[in-house]
Amino acid sequence: MHTKWLKAFKIALIEEDLKSIDTLLSEIPEFKKIEDMRNAYTLIGEAKKKFEDEQMIIQQKMNKMQQAKKFLNVNVREANLDEVY
């Protein structure tokens, strides 16, 4: 069971399948071997980094959308002023 979980987690990391990683994190088995615990610890650390990287990318995209929205709002207001004059 433990080996199967570790293999599945490694595959999910390699494929950057964040949904599978999330599912596997909710199903962490109880490890009996210290080596398996260390491997799981390392893999979970790598998964954490991938989630943090994804979070940063999403934040950057949100910032760009907010900037675009502000830009469009300014242009709409200017267009409305042009119509008045």
Q: Quick one: tokens of 22? A: 């999330």
C-alpha–C-alpha distance, residues 45 and 3, integer Å: 18
Residue 34 buriedness (CB in 10 A; 0-12 / 13-18 / 19+) = exposed
Q: Would the pLDDT of 26 be above 70?
A: yes
**Residue 78: predicted pLDDT:** 67
The per-residue pLDDT for range 35-80, each reduced to its tens digit, is: 999 999 999 999 999 999 999 999 999 999 999 988 888 776 666 6
pTM for the whole structure: 0.71
Residue 83 has pLDDT above 90, yes or no: no
Q: Has residue 84 got a pLDDT over 60?
A: no
